[in-house]
């Protein structure tokens, strides 16, 4: 069992007709990293069929290219979730409180899904994609 890997499977939203560019997503990640005062060692985009993002304890954060076709609110939810894992490596009360606080700037996604962030994390080994 490898608890270093954080696997995420958020419920997808309706895809955008025009995906944003990888540069836009990485800019959003950088903006949130700065805002949350974290420093990802590496940010990557890659094809992932079953999850939206993963975060290793070494600070490498990987986002699915499919995320580029997701609405801004959904991208933000995934990005903030992963950035917070650089502070809190689990889904305990502190993590959930921080997530709710930072996503409260726009609660539409939370209201729609009824969840402020309870993604399913598996304990699969980290994929080296």
Residues 2-41, one symbol each (x = binds Zn ion by CB under 5 A, - = not), give ----x-----------------------------------
**CA–CA gap between residue 84 and residue 87 (Å, rounded):** 5
**Collapsing DSSP states into helix, strand and coil, what is residue 28?**
helix
Judged by CB under 5 A, the chain residues 85 through 124 that form the site for Zn ion are 121
Q: How far is the CB of 3 from Zn ion (least distance, A)?
A: 12
* Stretch touching Zn ion by CB under 5 A, among 1-9, 39-47, 97-105, 107-115: 1-9
**CA–CA gap between residue 56 and residue 70 (Å, rounded):** 23
Residue 73, C-beta contacts closer than 8 angstroms, at least 6 positions apart: 13, 106, 108, 109
CA gyration radius, the chain: 13
Strands of the 6-7 sheet, one edge to the other: 6-7, 53-55, 60-64, 42-46
Task: Rank residues 22 and 89 by Cβ distance to Zn ion and give the closer one.
Answer: 89
Q: How far is the CB of 120 from Zn ion (least distance, A)?
A: 9
Q: By CB under 5 A, how many residues form the interface with Zn ion?
A: 2
Q: How far is the CB of 52 from Zn ion (least distance, A)?
A: 10
Task: Rank residues 28 and 82 by Cβ distance to Zn ion and give the closer one.
Answer: 82
Residues that bind Zn ion (CB under 5 A): 6, 121
């Amino acid at each position: 069992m490898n608890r270093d890997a954080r696997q995420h499977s958020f419920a997808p939203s309706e895809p955008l007709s025009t995906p944003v560019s990888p540069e836009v997503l990485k800019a959003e990640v950088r903006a949130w990293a700065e805002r949350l005062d974290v420093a990802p060692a590496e940010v990557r985009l890659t094809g992932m069929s079953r999850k939206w993002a993963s975060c290793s304890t070494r600070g490498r954060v990987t986002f699915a290219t499919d995320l580029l076709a997701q609405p801004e609110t959904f991208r933000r939810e995934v990005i903030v979730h992963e950035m917070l894992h650089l502070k809190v490596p689990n889904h305990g009360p502190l993590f959930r409180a921080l997530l709710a606080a930072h996503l409260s700037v726009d609660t539409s996604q939370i209201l729609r899904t009824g969840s402020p962030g309870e993604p399913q994390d598996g304990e699969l080994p980290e994929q080296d994609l």
